[in-house]
């Protein structure tokens, strides 16, 4: 799972996609995932972080993660493999 | 170390120049408790979905409405509109506060009697009263509001048969300057029909004409429509005084005050547009006070206010069963309460509030019920924080019409709980079970075996 290159990600929770001119906003959890993806972390590593830091069970996290990735795909923010 | 609360990760496209009316934090405070009882506890104890009614809110709202009228006019009588919510416990709160009963069927009439309302404090409205219904109402000395000529002639017959002079009023419909004009109930003012029936009653003298009635519609947002109605009723009232030297006892102006719910498609929220009881009271009472009716013959002003007295006191609690991303990227929630329990979702954009803390981030959401039916949509579009499976939410202002127009469709109807003024909770209607249905159904012998 790789983010499209050249995305500008701000610490306040915004993404700018220079190839389309579109901007996106994220909540805190979304921002953390995007930052991890940018660093090249995989799903397992990201999950571990959330299970350690948040009051959340594995199923609920995985379910939410899947949904979030589907939205990144929907907005064309994921590199086509 | 305490772990952080997890919110579903979400992303949305930034729409430049799209103002958001959901920006205010106040729109956004969670409803964690109702009258001091945590929503979580209510659901744990009584299940989800769950109807909750606040006795305190009913009493406060009633007091506010009663004050608005009684401080402006000396003779005020509310009659609780049973169809709006006829759970016995709810009716009894209104009766304890001093309300009479306003019923529109034999079933509602029986309910009022069972609730201990004396016959002479029951107003019987509606286009469909059977012979048996009318006999009961006449024998109990109730107020019968005549809807059509067939009813009038039936009443004349019954009066002779029973040798009782039934107490009646005439329901009148009229143009009050609003749309739609309810013209199917009662007798029309403008074409002279209303005056004609009034004269027939007075001349035949078999029925005791005691009042005039109208109900001009529901969710009336303009108080002046009531003033217009009152002018026309007073014209008839004075006509009776002048020609027959008779002073009618009451004018019943019906129900119809708006509640603070937001109508579908309305630009502004109902909380901003709904007139106050004071505004309605002002419009209605000033017409009577300023009329030429003499002080000693001022009629009792009867009000059959329904939704405005009960909407705020009712809540529907629910739980997110699943979240689902639609093909267009929109988020959807599958909840455990559907249009079968929330009939008013066909008219209102109901306010949905999460029952737990959440962040400032919201997303465009469709809220579905549990029914496997395409029409089962509670909100087609609402900005909500990212709720997840198991989260609870509260739908506010659902006290009117939902607990009477609910449908037993696909699922059971859940518990209804009353929170009393001492913060004790009581089940006032039990959740349905399969037994309720087995008790009513009968299978013919030849269909009992299916193999
Ligand atoms: C005769 C009559 N009175 C009172 C009411 C209560 O109306 P509302 O809930 O709009 O106040 C109704 C409702 O339809 C009605 O038909």
Q: Are B297 and B249 in contact (CB under 8 A)?
A: no
Q: Token pair for residue B354?
A: 């999460």
In a domain, B270, yes or no: yes
* Domain match, B301 and B327 both: no
pLDDT values of chain B reduced to their tens digit, one per residue, 451 residues: 789 999 999 999 987 655 544 444 435 799 999 999 999 999 999 999 999 999 999 999 999 999 999 999 999 999 999 999 999 999 999 999 999 999 999 999 999 999 999 999 999 999 999 999 999 999 999 999 999 999 999 999 999 999 999 999 999 999 999 988 999 999 999 999 999 999 999 999 999 999 999 999 999 999 999 999 999 999 999 999 999 999 999 999 999 999 999 999 888 999 999 999 999 999 999 999 999 999 999 999 999 999 999 999 999 999 999 999 999 999 999 999 999 999 999 999 999 999 999 988 899 999 999 999 999 999 999 999 999 999 999 999 999 999 999 999 999 999 999 999 999 999 999 999 999 999 999 999 999 999 8
* Domain match, B330 and B299 both: no
Q: What are phi and psi of B293, to 5 degrees?
A: -65, 135
**Among candidates A23, A25, A29 on the partner chain, residue whose Cβ is nearest the Cβ of B9:** A29
Helix, strand, coil shares, percent, chain B, to 5: 35, 25, 45
Enumerate the residues of chain A whose CB falls inside 8 A of the CB of residue B6.
29, 50, 54-56, 60-61, 64
Name B124's bridge partners: B103, B144
What is the C-alpha separation between B113 and B124, in angstroms, rounded? 12
Report the gap between the CA of B94 and the closest CA in chain A (Å): 46
Which CATH number do you get for residue B95? 3.20.20.10
Q: What ranges make up the beta strands (E) of B45-137? A: 50-54, 76-81, 100-103, 122-124
* Domain match, B289 and B359 both: no
Domain boundary among B292, B311, B330: B311
Peptide bond into B49 cis (omega under 30): yes
* Domain match, B72 and B183 both: yes
* Domain match, B292 and B192 both: yes
Mutate-to-test residue for ligand 1 from B69, B82, B83, highest number of ligand atoms within 8 A of CB:
B83
Q: Are B76 and B301 in contact (CB under 8 A)?
A: yes
Q: Give me the residues of B, 3-32, that contact A with CB < 8 A.
A: 3-14
The model's pTM is 0.92
Separation in Å, CA B361 to CA B8, B28, B42, B320, B387: 10, 10, 27, 18, 11
Domain boundary among B265, B295, B311: B311
* Domain match, B47 and B77 both: no
Structural domains of chain B, count: 2
As to burial, measured by CB atoms within 10 angstroms (0-12 exposed, 13-18 middle, 19+ buried), residue B291 is: middle
Q: Are B322 and B272 in contact (CB under 8 A)?
A: no
Which CATH number do you get for residue B365? 2.40.37.10
Site of tokens 């509109």: B81
Report the gap between the CA of A64 and the closest CA in chain B (Å): 6
Q: Whose CA is nearest to atom 5 of ligand 1?
A: B255
**Among candidates A56, A61, A68 on the partner chain, residue whose Cβ is nearest the Cβ of B11:** A68
For B291, the domain range is 55-311
Q: Does residue B215's CB lie within 6 angstroms of at least one atom of ligand 1?
A: yes
Do the chains contact at B6 and A32, CB–CB below 8 Å? no
Report the gap between the CA of B324 and the closest CA in chain A (Å): 8
Let me know how long chain A is: 81
């Amino acid at each position: 799972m790789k983010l499209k290159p050249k995305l500008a990600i701000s610490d306040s929770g915004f993404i700018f996609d220079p190839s389309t001119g579109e901007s996106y906003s994220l909540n805190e959890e979304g921002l953390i995932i995007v930052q991890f993806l940018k660093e090249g972390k995989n799903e397992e590593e990201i999950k571990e972080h959330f299970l350690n830091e948040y009051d959340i069970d594995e199923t609920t996290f995985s379910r939410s993660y899947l949904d979030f990735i589907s939205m990144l795909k929907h907005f064309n923010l994921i590199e086509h493999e | 170390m305490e772990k952080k609360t997890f919110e579903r990760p979400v992303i949305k496209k930034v729409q430049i120049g799209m103002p958001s009316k959901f920006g205010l934090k106040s729109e956004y405070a969670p409803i964690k408790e109702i009258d001091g009882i945590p929503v979580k506890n209510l659901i744990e104890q009584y299940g989800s979905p769950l109807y909750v009614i606040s006795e305190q809110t009913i009493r406060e709202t009633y007091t506010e409405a009663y004050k608005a009228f009684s401080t402006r006019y000396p003779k005020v009588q509310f009659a609780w509109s049973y169809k709006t919510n006829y759970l016995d416990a709810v009716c009894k709160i209104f009766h304890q506060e001093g309300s009479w009963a306003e019923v529109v069927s034999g079933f509602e009439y029986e309910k009022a009697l069972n609730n201990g309302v004396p016959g002479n404090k029951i107003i019987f409205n509606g286009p469909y009263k059977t012979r048996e219904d009318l006999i009961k109402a006449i024998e109990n000395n109730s107020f019968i509001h005549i809807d059509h000529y067939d009813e009038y002639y039936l009443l004349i017959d019954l009066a002779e048969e029973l040798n009782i002079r039934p107490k009646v009023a005439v329901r009148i419909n009229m143009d009050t300057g609003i749309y739609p004009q309810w013209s199917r109930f009662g007798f029309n003012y403008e074409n002279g029909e209303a005056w004609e029936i009034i004269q027939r009653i007075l001349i035949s003298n078999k029925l005791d004409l005691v009042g005039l009635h109208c109900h001009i519609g529901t969710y009336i947002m303009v108080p002046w429509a009531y003033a217009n109605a009152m002018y026309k009723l007073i014209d008839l009232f004075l006509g009776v005084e002048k020609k027959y030297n008779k002073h009618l006892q009451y004018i019943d102006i019906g129900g119809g005050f708006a509640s603070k719910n937001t109508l579908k498609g309305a630009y502004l929220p109902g909380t901003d547009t709904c007139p106050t009881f004071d505004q309605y009271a002002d419009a209605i009472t000033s017409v009577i006070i300023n009329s030429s009716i003499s002080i000693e013959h001022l009629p009792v002003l009867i009000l059959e206010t329904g939704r405005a007295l009960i909407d705020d006191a009712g809540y529907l609690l629910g739980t997110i069963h699943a979240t689902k991303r639609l093909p267009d990227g929109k988020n959807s929630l599958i909840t455990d309460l559907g249009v079968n329990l929330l009939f008013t979702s066909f008219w209102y954009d109901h306010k949905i509030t999460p029952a737990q803390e959440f962040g400032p981030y919201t997303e465009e959401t469709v809220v579905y019920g549990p029914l496997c039916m395409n029409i089962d949509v509670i909100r087609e579009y609402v900005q909500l924080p990212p709720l997840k499976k198991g989260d609870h939410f509260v739908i506010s202002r659902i006290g009117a019409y939902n607990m009477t127009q609910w449908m037993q469709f696909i699922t059971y109807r859940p518990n209804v709980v009353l929170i009393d003024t001492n913060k004790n909770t009581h089940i006032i209607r039990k959740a349905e079970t399969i037994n309720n249905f087995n008790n009513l159904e009968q299978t013919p012998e030849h269909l009992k075996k299916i193999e």
